[in-house]
Amino acid sequence: MPRGSLKRKLIACLRQGKGKRRPRSRGKDRRQQIPDLESIHLRPPAIEDRLIPGHWEGDLIIGANNSSAGCTLVERTTRLVILAKVDGTTAIGFSDKLNEVTRSPRLSMTYDQSKEMVNHAEITQKTGTAIYFADPHSPWQRGSNRNPSPIRALFNSVALGT
């Protein structure tokens, strides 16, 4: 037998039938990427001081089995919370809720890098609000939306009508 052929036959008899271990992460991320995102580091420093109202933080809350979804908008200075029920798992509902607020107090919105914000350019076009994205796995960069449990409890009570 040529050299190595016996080893190949024995490996083929194994349960997995593979001779080498391969790393789990190969290739690039297959999830939908956010085009033209503006980093939170490009945000003006005046937003970080929380002195000027009109800078919002947003998040999407998806219910069990993707059966319902709602968006939360928290104003950074006044801590005003706006809750809205959204159809589907896209963030288009944000633009409708932001348009209900007068123009002067909707200057910017900070969001996490989740796939529902792929169409952020459409939201910016509808509302005229600049959208900035926090770094992945950095919830402290959006401090007002950092602990979603009180907001989630409030959203559940509003959704259930209690």
Q: Terminus-to-terminus CA distance in the chain, angstroms?
A: 77
Banded pLDDT at 153 (limits 50, 70, 90) = low
pLDDT the model gives residue 69: 81
pLDDT the model gives residue 157: 57
Contact 127, 102 (CB under 8 A): no
pLDDT the model gives residue 42: 92
Report CA 28 to chain centroid distance, whole Å: 19
Contact 120, 37 (CB under 8 A): yes
What's the chain's length in residues? 162
Nearest by Cα to 49 from 81, 76, 73: 76
Q: What is the spatial distance between Cα 7 and Cα 85, in angstroms, rounded to a whole number?
A: 60
Q: Is the pLDDT of residue 1 over 80?
A: no
In tens, the pLDDT along 31-75 reads 667 888 899 999 988 888 888 888 888 888 777 787 778 888 888
Q: Is the pLDDT of residue 126 over 80?
A: yes
| Average pLDDT rounded to a whole number, residues 93-100 | 74
Q: Would you tell me which CATH number, out of the four given (3.40.718.10, 3.30.420.10, 3.40.50.740, 3.40.50.300), belongs to the domain 40-160?
A: 3.30.420.10
pLDDT the model gives residue 31: 61
Q: Half-sphere exposure of residue 35, counting CA atoms within 13 Å on the CB side?
A: 3
Taking CA atoms, 148 is separated from 3, 10, 30, 71, 126, in Å, by: 61, 54, 28, 11, 26
